Structure 1
Amino acid sequence: MAVREELRADVRTLWDYHDLRHEPRPADVGIGLGSHDLGVATWSAELFHSGLFPLLVFTGANAPTTVDRFPRGEAVHYREHALDLGVPDSAILIEPEARNTGENIQFSQRVLAGREIKSVLLICRPYQQRRAYATCRRRWPEVEVRCTSKPLPLDEYLASIGDEDRVVNMLVGDTQRITEYARRGFASPQEMPHEVTAAYARLVEAGYTRRLI
């Protein structure tokens, strides 16, 4: 279902809010967070080839939204895609059990145990950036963390996924999780401007509620 024209400004407001605009910098490890979006693995491979990190972790089991597309698990399929893009097997670790962003961080720490990790580059979907960053700040506060996604304009990203309704529902759900997960102690608090809360409320009222908790 295409987004109604009168709601596009609200979708863009949420999209811009979740984009942290972190400039990718060299890090001890890149961590690709599993999802339905194979573009995360593509961008992870591009960043590896640019020399930003020597080691890449792919993390993720399955969610209801990914089990059909990635039946062997998100991390496994991401790894295979990165290998096809020329990332050497020796530079990839996989964490195939995480089922949410908190576990992505926690279980990646477990995979990396014994290595000196002072800086992390999180690689994820564009609208997951703020939540991933806030989660890492809470669960792994001793590392320097930056977060990045392949830089695509909103309309280009929607076209690449091919399902506007799905993306907007997930964008609305991630916005709710910023405040709700901070309240529950799962993530660090993030400022949310009034225009973001107003856009979120209008999209909820319009029926984009499938990813709400």
Structure 2
Amino acid sequence: MTLPDDLRHDVQTLWDYHDMRHELRPADVGIGLGSHDLGVATCAAELFHAGMFPLVVFTGANAPTTVERFPRGEAVHYREHALDLGVPDDAILVETEARNTGDNITLTRALLESRGIEVGSVVLISRPYQQRRAYATCRKLWPGVDVICASRPLPPDDYVASIGDVNRVINMLVGDTQRITVYAERGFAIAQEVPATVKESYTQLIRQGFTKRLL
């Protein structure tokens, strides 16, 4: 399963925009942001084994897009997957109430503080197209922490194949692009520059009917 040729340029433009291209370095904690994508937990496990952090927090309840896939909650399923990949149980914390990215940040921060865990730096692990929004949200809600973004390093075609649904991925990509601006305007995140090329590709994909994840 691959991207249609007539959509490839616009999808790639948005895909590249959301990739923060952060250089990975060791941090105090990894935070796996809940979603429909189990690859987030895979990436977290790989980074843990690479020594990027000694502790990982999986955060997420359910959303309409995840309840069938992860009936026990996103974070719970992420934890189980990470355990299967060899991450020790005592290196995992689970936050099960978050229902959006803001909740992911604030509730994870509260959980760590309740355990007396001092955090100066975090690796935010997310879907590839969620990196920029996660970064902007964390900078707004947890301004004192050093933020590094990470995802599975997949090009769009490979990611679509891993999810198995082209339309879902493009709809989510378009929705996340809209949220960069809207969430900053609403005070949920710091403002991010949106280049003209990104605005153009975003508009083109909306014209093609990818509107299901728009606010």
TM-score tier after normalising by the smaller chain length: over 0.9
Q: Percent identity?
A: 71
Q: Distance in 2 between matches of 1:57 and 1:15?
A: 26
Question: With structure 2 as the length reference, what TM-score do the two structures score?
Answer: 0.97
How far apart are 1:2 and its partner, in Å? 7.0
What do residues 90-123 of structure 1 show as CA deviations (whole Å, max 9, x unaligned)?
A: 0000000000000000000011012110000000
Question: Which residue of 2 is the match for residue 118 of structure 1?
Answer: 120
Question: Which residue of 2 is the match for residue 179 of structure 1?
Answer: 181
Question: Which residue of 2 is the match for residue 75 of structure 1?
Answer: 75
How far apart are 1:206 and its partner, in Å? 0.9
- Return structure 1 stretches of 4+ with deviation > 3 angstroms: 1-4
Instruction: Report the secondary structure of 2:149's partner residue.
Output: strand
Question: Which residue of 2 is the match for residue 150 of structure 1?
Answer: 152
How far apart are 1:153 and its partner, in Å? 1.1
Residue type of the alignment partner of 1:184: R
Q: For the Cα contact (< 8 Å) 1:57–1:92, is it kept in 2?
A: yes
Question: Which residue of 2 is the match for residue 29 of structure 1?
Answer: 29
Q: Distance in 1 between matches of 2:153 and 2:121?
A: 21
How far apart are 1:23 and its partner, in Å? 1.6
Residue type of the alignment partner of 2:205: L
Q: Distance in 1 between matches of 2:10 and 2:109?
A: 36
Q: For the Cα contact (< 8 Å) 1:2–1:165, is it kept in 2?
A: no
Question: Equivalences for 1:188-199 in 2 at 5 Å?
Answer: 188-199=190-201
How far apart are 1:8 and its partner, in Å? 1.3
Q: For the Cα contact (< 8 Å) 1:60–1:95, is it kept in 2?
A: yes
Instruction: Report the secondary structure of 1:32's partner residue.
Output: strand
How far apart are 1:4 and its partner, in Å? 4.0
Instruction: Report the secondary structure of 2:143's partner residue.
Output: coil
Distance 1:99 1:76, change over 3 A: same
Cα RMSD (Å): 1.1
Distance 1:3 1:208, change over 3 A: farther
Residue type of the alignment partner of 1:103: D
Question: Which residue of 2 is the match for residue 206 of structure 1?
Answer: 208
Residue 131 (structure 1) aligned with residue 133 (structure 2): yes
How far apart are 1:154 and its partner, in Å? 1.1
Q: Distance in 1 between matches of 2:3 and 2:46?
A: 31
Question: With structure 1 as the length reference, what TM-score do the two structures score?
Answer: 0.98
Contiguous gaps of at least 5 residues in structure 2 = none
Q: Distance in 1 between matches of 2:181 and 2:67?
A: 28
Count residues in correspondence.
213
Question: Equivalences for 1:42-53 in 2 at 5 Å?
Answer: 42-53=42-53
Contiguous gaps of at least 5 residues in structure 1 = none
Question: Equivalences for 1:98-109 in 2 at 5 Å?
Answer: 98-109=98-109
Q: For the Cα contact (< 8 Å) 2:40–2:151, is it kept in 1?
A: yes
Q: Distance in 2 between matches of 1:79 and 1:93?
A: 8
Question: Equivalences for 1:160-175 in 2 at 5 Å?
Answer: 160-175=162-177
Instruction: Report the secondary structure of 1:151's partner residue.
Output: coil
Residue type of the alignment partner of 1:48: F
